[in-house]
Amino acid sequence: MSRISVVFFEVEILDAKTKDKLCFLDKVEPNATIGEIKSMFHKSHPQWYPARQSIRLDPKGKSLKDEDVLQHLPVGTTATFYFRDLGAQISWVTVFLTEYTGPLVIYLMFYFRVPFIYASKYDFTTSKHWVVHLACMCHSFHYVKRLLETLFVHRFSHGTMPLRNIFKNCTYYWGFAAWMAYYINHPLYTPPIYGEQQIRLALIIFLFCQIGNFSIHIALRNLRPPGSKTRKIPYPTKNPFTWIFLLVSCPNYTYELGSWLGFTLMTQCLPVAFFTLVGFVQMTVWAKGKHRSYLKEFRDYPPLRSPILPFIL
């Protein structure tokens, strides 16, 4: 008659840099996950909450995932892990909400010509150009959409990011928003050269890309059941705005670029063009990274797709 016995693991956690023994856990279940081990570690070291723990098998190796199961890792019954402090962490949702609320509020301050920005005779006046009102509506719509998507649409793979990112990101978004808004809402603003035609075309491009961007976000959300962190290849759905998946890995960035090109055309403002360019460079870097990880993870990844611009980039 065979006897089923449960072999408990012992887990020791060492500091990755100093190799000091930080924690010893005995009687750990073999099917315990790294996430559970992190919680146990947190109990003995309350200053290191799980989100800021990086647990690895090798001091210089990659971080293990929270879902990894102890008995499936290449460790003996006494497992040795190395710990690295990732620093103070902040949740992605908090970062997104903060970095998007800023531009919304700041642009409106310039639009309403709050005192101390322009000469005092212009305080609380409104621009005489209707394109300025249209631009304010588009800009505000864009950021309200982003805030709502953050709250109700996006499913984040990582819970947190390092705290210093919020300062870096907010400086970028808020700084550029102020710079653009200053010129668009300036009393000496010059409307687009080709007038109504230019503005109308720009608005069509902007709205088309906003709807497109939203469609992609919905499609990506539906790929992933709630609470899961699984990754799947995105494919075109019944929504025509998602058919761009045939040619591009990250069409959300493609549509975002399109929206800002539309806004640049609408406002004919060099700072907006500059913001579009910088955003495009950053999104291309992200798109190339995402495209590369898709190719690595999925053997059958569609070969026709480019990272961000069909056939080009």
Partner 1 sequence: MASSEEDGTVEEKENNNKKRTKSALVTAWLTFYNIAMTAGWLVLAITMMRFYIQRGTHKGLYRSIARTLKFFQTFALVEVGHCAIGIVKTSVIVNGVQVCSRIFMVWFVTNSIRQIQNEESVILFLVVWTVMEISRYSYYTFSLLHHLPYFIKWARYNFFIVLYPLGVAGELLTIYAALPFVRRSGMYSMRLPNKYNVSFDYYYCLIIVMLSYIPLFPQLYLHMLRQRRRVLHGEVIVEKDE
Among 4, 6, 193, 304, binds partner 1 (CB under 8 A): 193
Query: Which of the stretches 143-151, 167-175, 201-209, 265-273 binds partner 1 when contact is defined by CB under 8 A?
Result: 265-273
Among 42, 129, 186, 288, binds partner 1 (CB under 8 A): 186
Is residue 78 a contact point for partner 1 (CB under 8 A)?
Answer: no
Number of residues that bind partner 1 (CB under 8 A): 12
Q: What is the DSSP letter of 72?
A: G
Is residue 190 a contact point for partner 1 (CB under 8 A)?
Answer: yes
Query: Which of the stretches 48-56, 141-149, 180-188, 244-252 binds partner 1 when contact is defined by CB under 8 A?
Result: 180-188
First to last CA, the chain: 64
Among 271, 279, 290, 313, binds partner 1 (CB under 8 A): 271
The dihedral formed by the CA atoms of 210, 215, 216 and 222, expressed in degrees to the nearest 10: 150
Please answer whether residues 149 and 215 qualify as being in contact, where contact means their C-beta atoms are separated by less than 8 angstroms. Answer: no
CA distance 108 to 113: 8
- The secondary structure element, H or E, covering residue 152 is helix 130-152
> Please, what's the b/e burial string for 120-147 (b: 16 or more CB within 10 A of its CB; e: otherwise)?
eebeeeebebebbebbbebbbebbebbe
User: Toward partner 1, which CB reaches closer, 194 or 235?
Assistant: 194
Is residue 184 a contact point for partner 1 (CB under 8 A)?
Answer: yes
Among 122, 174, 183, 286, binds partner 1 (CB under 8 A): 183
Is residue 267 a contact point for partner 1 (CB under 8 A)?
Answer: yes
Query: Which residues in 151-170 contact partner 1 (CB under 8 A)?
Result: none
Among 137, 270, 278, 295, binds partner 1 (CB under 8 A): 270
Spatial CA neighbour of 262 closest among 219, 306, 179, 202: 202
Which residues touch 141 (CB under 8 Å, ≥6 apart)? Answer: 210
Residue ranges that bind partner 1, judged by CB under 8 A: 183-184, 186, 188-190, 193, 267-271
